[in-house]
Structure 1
């Protein structure tokens, strides 16, 4: 709308300027011809008035305006000027012709200066716009550099921690297996002793729990290389949603799918690993609003140039910016019974798929976990 108004205003302003310039020239010329019998000095003095429309035309329309108005004035005043040649001395004749030349020269020179000024202003505007674009690019590149540096540091920590975890898990698993087998044998021999049987049952449960924890450690430390296969995002999300359905129903939560056109996009991923990613993120969303029965967890489709993915959005209380920056670090957890490996494993799986995962707070207060995969 503003552009249209500017496009309308420019010709109107130009027309108004032309009318003013034409009016000044006509008025001065009419005065010359209607006061024809005045003394020559009067006409020579009045001749200076022609500088006004010439300079005005040069300022508004550049060299063409200054030159054009000067030539028009010369043509209109030529009759009066030649008629007075018989009444003038030699110096006055030269002065009058010089004055006409100066009027035309001032018109061109003023127009030239105005043209150079406008060109300099245009170059300045272009330079400022270029500077602004460069600053924006530098800002984006700086943010990307910081993100990459953070990823490199996180990968270094994960690699070192993974090697340590793999060794510890291997060393712990052997005696843990012996304890479990010994407990089973003891329980079979002491079936009549209820106290011993109860102790054996507790030992078996705890050894099983430790075994599951060690399995998570090993999954984190020695992640399986993804076996890529083509699958649509809609199918992947639907299959994962079916697995999570019993947990959601038990918690009284509703899973809402908003995949739209992204459901038909095909990605190359390890089916089982990506299901693990979705289930882990759904469990986190469920824990964030486990006391909010009747609320929804949303899975939203994402489609960007070269990328496709999904976002899992909960309606919980959100998390602090400091917590978000540590969520993918191993052994960092906000849960009382958590190991802090769930999101670390998710991050590593997404990274192995050359993808990206980010966490952010929504405007309504929940958390949005966004996963992007290369198409």
Structure 2
């Protein structure tokens, strides 16, 4: 254990007392020693001025003068030349104490002002950084809005020019398939044509949903019930993949105002991605928590964690870009649509992932006070 430091007044007092004892106990026939002791008085004076400023320096110099005056009168009395020198030394004590204290005090004031300025600059830098982050986020939203606006203009053309021919192609292929039996090469070719037609039709539908999304029909939505429905739907797929799918019950099921159908689509996209990314013997965990804010929580977080291979930073930065996918048969629109659904509910979607450590997708949704009041 470290010993506590001695208080500064005690140090100054000890300096003055020790030097004075040297003065009074040293014989007068040793004037050189008295000259040395006389100069030693400057040490406590300068220390006091450095520690306490102008008042401290003057107070210490006055204390030294008062202690030194009896020595001057009673021990050096009768030596007029010596007395004048000692009197001048007393004046110098006070001059040094006053000047040093004044300079020390000004330096402390300047240091304090610099610290305040530095704190102000740091706060200004923090504000500027927050504003720049907001500006960058707004610019990103504007770029996305511009892209979606362009895609929205193309959506009607694509719907007319692609979906109708796709329907004709699929219908013709189904008719031709009836003329062949399973196992025939032409039957297999027609099966491939029908499946690819269905896949292309899904791409067009996903593109239309992302480019021209319908506003959510807000109503009372029990998040946990929606998750339970989805887990029931994908439970068989999880068993076939030999993956443990776990839905943790929340201590208090959150109720929000939202579009249950659209939220189911968003949750389903993420859970399917988690199952596809998890190898056999892995685990996918779904948990819902309330975001505390005093007595009344203001939001809920749905966390979907998998034990898959994870993603590197470059992939993680692009997963919400339209048509970006790492799956051989993926369209690259699922997560883009999911984020739009979450944002249309006033929420946010965050992804945390590292290679070899799996992925965690966190959906944050605001709670509605009106929805909480409807809780049975």
TM-score by length of 2: 0.78
In structure 1, distance between residues paired with 2:268 and 2:180? 39
What is the distance in 2 between the residues matched to 1:168 and 1:114? 79
Counterpart selection for 2:270 from 267, 281, 298: 281
Counterpart CA distance in 1 for 2:77 and 2:331 is 112
Superposed CA offset, 1:163-193 (max 9, x none): 3133212333334445566677x67xx97x5
CA-atom RMSD, angstroms?
Answer: 3.8
Q: Which residue in 2 is equivalent to 1:157?
A: 147
1:319 to 306, 311, 319: 311
201-210 or 136-145: bigger deviation: 201-210
Is the 8 Å Cα contact of residues 309 and 355 (structure 2) preserved in structure 1? no
Which range moved further: 147-156 or 333-342? 147-156
User: After superposition, where does 1:1-375 map in structure 2 within 5 Å?
Assistant: 12-15=4-7, 17-35=8-26, 38=29, 46-83=37-74, 87-89=78-80, 95-178=85-168, 193-194=179-180, 202=191, 210-258=200-248, 260=250, 264-289=253-278, 292-301=279-288, 303-304=290-291, 307-362=299-354, 364-375=356-367
1:121-162 alpha-carbon deviations (Å, 9 max, x no partner):
333344444444544554454444434333322332222123
Q: Partners in 2 of 1:364 and 1:204 — Cα distance?
A: 38
What's the offset of the Cα at 1:220? 2.5
Give the gaps of 5 or more residues in structure 2. Answer: 368-376
Shift of 1:357: 1.9
Q: Distance in 1 between matches of 2:102 and 2:233?
A: 78
Gap runs ≥5 in structure 1: none
| Larger mean Cα displacement after TM superposition, 350-359 or 210-219 | 210-219
TM-score by length of 1: 0.78
Which stretch shifts more, 269-278 or 364-373? 364-373
**Cα distance in structure 1, aligned partners of 2:315 and 2:94:** 75
Question: Are the structure 2 counterparts of residues 163 and 347 from structure 1 closer, same or farther at C-alpha, using a change threshold of 3 Å?
Answer: farther
Q: Secondary structure of 2:41's partner?
A: helix
Contact 1:362–1:368 (CA under 8 A) maintained in structure 2: no
Distance 2:198 2:61 in 1: 102
In the TM superposition, residue 328 of structure 1 has moved relative to its aligned partner by 1.9
Check the 8 A contact 1:257/1:298 in 2, yes or no: yes
Aligned counterparts of 1:267 and 1:234: Cα–Cα separation in 2 = 11
Deviates most, 233-242 or 207-216: 207-216
8 Å Cα contact 1:183/1:200 also seen in 2: no
Counterpart position of 2:371: none
